[in-house]
A = this chain, B = another copy of it.
């Protein structure tokens, strides 16, 4: 409801609205990967992939951990679930609509 919540929702949905970033999420949810290992999977520059990782990190969808000269990225399943719960909230709004329609039918029939 708050402005910060909306900012966070904007960042989360935006981060997931790109197929390369969704693919990165699949990989880092399956296990830790360095940025250059990730970059090796895509037909674009290292810098481009590094920016995608930064977008996901800023949205809180992954975290990084130093390991020597590498930066190991790991997916945060709780953040993914938080997006899911936003959708569940939307679904609850819809359930309210159905409940109101049911009430209307019930009221029409009681006479």
In the complex, A65 Cα to B25 Cα: how many Å?
38
A61 nearest CB across to chain B (Å): 10
| A-side interface size class | 20 to 34
A75: chain B residues within 8 A (beta carbon): 90, 94
In the complex, A13 Cα to B61 Cα: how many Å?
15
A77 within 8 A of B: yes
**B91 in contact with A80 (CB, 8 Å):** yes
**B84 in contact with A29 (CB, 8 Å):** no
A interface residues, Cβ below 8 angstroms from B: 6, 9-10, 13-14, 16-19, 22, 25-26, 29-31, 75, 77, 80-81, 83-84, 87-88, 90-91, 93-94, 96-97, 100
